[in-house]
Amino acid sequence: MGLQHLSDLSAIIDDLDAMGRLARVRSEVDLNHDLAGIAAELEGGPRAVLFENVKGYEHPVFVGLYWSRELLGDLMRTPEGDLPGLVSQHIKKWQVDPVAPVVIENGPVREITEPDVDLSKLPIPVHAMKDGGSYFSAAVVVTRDPDSGVRNASIQRFQVIDKDTLAVNIDSGRHLEIYLAKAAKRGKNLSFTLNVGVGPGLHFAASAPAEAAPIDKDELGIASEFHGAPLELVRSDLSDVEMIAHAQWALECELIHDEGHLEGPFAEVTGCYAGIAPRGKVKVKRIHRRKNPVFQTILSGKEVFNSVGLLGEANVLNLLQVQVPGVKDVYFTHGGCGFYGAVVQIAQTRAGWARQAILATFAAFPPLKTVTVVDDDVDIYDPSDVEWAMSTRLDARNGVIVLNDIFGHGLNPSFPDYLGSKIGFDATQPFPHQPQFERVTIKKMNLEGIDIVTRDIAPPPRPAGAGQTLVEYILEKTGAAPKPAPAAKPGGGSLVDYILEKTGAAGKPEQAAAKPGGTLVDYILEKTGAGASKPAPAATPPNSNGAAKGPSLVDYILEKTSGKKAKPNGAAPGEGMNGSSALNGAPPPGGTLKDWILNQTKGSPRI
């Protein structure tokens, strides 16, 4: 398959699945907040996620393609650590010898043309709790310069307003903003296509900073470099702007030159909400799609940090290595949102180059707010190592550069109206190097073949006089011998096995597991032969919150196994040993029976 699978999201999903890199969510999931909430729990993990059962929709939703560099490296058949270099290599090649896209007669995205435009039929999620509505967050805009006809690709956020209207936020200085101004000067709207569900080659092309992709070059050629073949396009029905042939959906749209619409709030890459403001108004004219499309969305988090960060790192590294001798690597930190914080690694050759690297880095990627330069003995991907350099090598008097009233990124709330302050840190050791700054080194050893003996980590001994545990109390009251010390416990059996053994229920294979849905009490009763069903809670007095009370777990087991009704610590009827609500429910899902018993007894007063 080579790397041409990168041009088709359906092929990408199959490839991830074959590698064990795909999680399928088959439970029904609501698009409003629930889908994003589940995705957020899995964010940054080793698998992307396909939601196969979206409430009210027939088509699935895909998320997580960019939230793990390890996953992305596997998909692109490249070690994770080599990804920035690979991206840099492809962009350099495109800048020197671009491969133009090709327009083909037909493609998968034209399998179906909807008879009516109705955005409510697309499974477009609402992500954060205060988002203003459903958003396209991963779709790629393709348009043409009204003057030159050069194609441009970009990613913007689009809020759904009604069945055929969108509101769009366009970052200041982006080529799309310039194209719209050119169209408006002619009194015309700007035609574009919005392409949903594309591969990383096109995504990287659309995310390339203006410093790497000038306005007079067709950025779609960057995707061709990643695919190893020309990017394929198909013609639109209503304009001269093409659609991505292998997209899942393609919308033919017009950006209105003389009308705006309120847009927002939206959970942005900063981890803050972008506010409500008048922004661009879009009319959707036609919708094309595959027969069985997959909607792709992106959480404003690690997916953006990685996808934008890789492009930013590649561009900055390319420029710095031309301008500043000794620069070896660049990393856009996740703490800096993949946009605002960079760490530069340099092998110093003379004094002053580290400070020069700070200024050159800000110039190479204007959204950056902080730049830290460290020596080549510091791991720029390890925040602790970078902090070590800050703590031991930074000269706070002379190693800090502050730039005020300078252009930044408008989505960053510390840059109102795109103006703010930036700071650079020279955390390198003085040059020429001095012995007091030399790092300690330890001989690197291979532990293979080294005889190392360990024991399982056990809990600390109980304090003297701590009294009985709940289990010991049950065993005593049921006539079983006290539990032996852990070292004497044969086979390391479970807590339940031990109780069963001591109460005479061991050795019964047919009773080896609790029945599904049974409570802990039912299970112990069955195993100890008490058999009778637990009395209905309704027959007992209500507790403080109005719920029916039952006997405590201890009281109930004692009553059923020996007829005794002792109340340790004066626990009220229907309460546990520490006065908590009666332990009457089944163990919660996800934990073992042993975990549940230990959790319920954790912190209980001793008898």
pLDDT tens digits for 341-362?
Answer: 999 999 998 899 999 999 999 9
Residue 53, in any domain of the structure: no
Tell me: do 273 and 371 sit in the same domain.
no
* 103: its two tokens: 């327009």
Kindly state whether residues 150 and 214 are assigned to the same domain. Answer: yes
Q: Is residue 457 part of a domain?
A: no
278 shares its domain with 423: no
Instruction: Tell whether 346 and 425 lie within a shared domain.
Output: yes
The percentage of the chain sitting over the pLDDT mark of 90, rounded to a whole number, equals: 55
Query: Does residue 336 share a domain with residue 246?
Result: no
509 and 595 part of one domain: yes
Q: Are 270 and 171 within 8 A, CB to CB?
A: no
Q: Is residue 476 part of a domain?
A: yes
Do 106 and 173 belong to one domain?
yes
Say which range, 71-85, 443-457, 494-508, has the weakest mean pLDDT: 494-508
d(CA 41, CA 49): 11
- Both tokens assigned to 85: 């270099």
CATH number, residue 153:
2.30.110.10
- Name which of 331, 245, 389, 294 is nearest 63 in CA terms: 294
Distance CA 233, CA 198 (A): 12
The structural domain count of the chain equals 3
**DSSP, residue by residue, 302-350:** HHHHHHHHHHHHHHHHHHHHHHSTTEEEEEE-TTTTTTSEEEEEE--SS
- Range scoring the smallest mean pLDDT among 81-95, 174-188, 380-394: 81-95
More confident call, 155 vs 524? 155
Q: What CATH number is attached to the domain comprising 335?
A: 3.40.1670.10
Where on the phi/psi map is residue 299: left (φ > 0), alpha (ψ -120 to 50), or beta? beta
Domain annotation covers residue 586: yes
- Determine the residue type at 273: Y
The number of beta carbons lying within 10 Å of the beta carbon of residue 22 is: 19
Longest dimension (CA), the chain: 94
For 105-153, what is each residue's pLDDT tens digit? Answer: 999 999 999 999 999 999 999 999 999 999 999 999 999 999 999 999 9
Last residue of a domain, one of 437, 461, 493: 437
Q: Is the N-terminal amide bond of 416 cis, ω within 30° of 0?
A: no
Q: Are residues 92 and 165 in the same domain?
A: yes
At 439, list the tokens.
């790092």
Shared domain for 249 and 292, answered yes or no, is yes
Please tell me the distance from the alpha carbon of residue 533 to that of residue 569, in angstroms, as a whole number: 26
Same domain for 228 and 177, yes or no, is: yes
| Predicted TM-score (pTM) of this structure | 0.70
Are 235 and 334 part of one and the same domain? no
Q: Does residue 43 lie in a domain region?
A: no
488 lies in the same domain as 550: yes
Last residue of one domain, picked from the residues 247, 281, 296: 296
Last residue of a domain, one of 246, 280, 296: 296
What is the rounded distance in angstroms from the CA atom of residue 105 to the CA atom of residue 111?
Answer: 12
What residues make up the domain containing 404? Answer: 324-437
Tell me the backbone φ, ψ of residue 601, rounded to 5 degrees.
-95, -10
What confidence score (pLDDT) does residue 577 get?
A: 37
Average pLDDT over residues 78-86: 88
Looking at residue 302, its pLDDT comes to: 85
d(CA 178, CA 15): 38
Please give the full DSSP string across 152-167, using - where no structure is assigned.
EEEE-EEEEEETTEEE
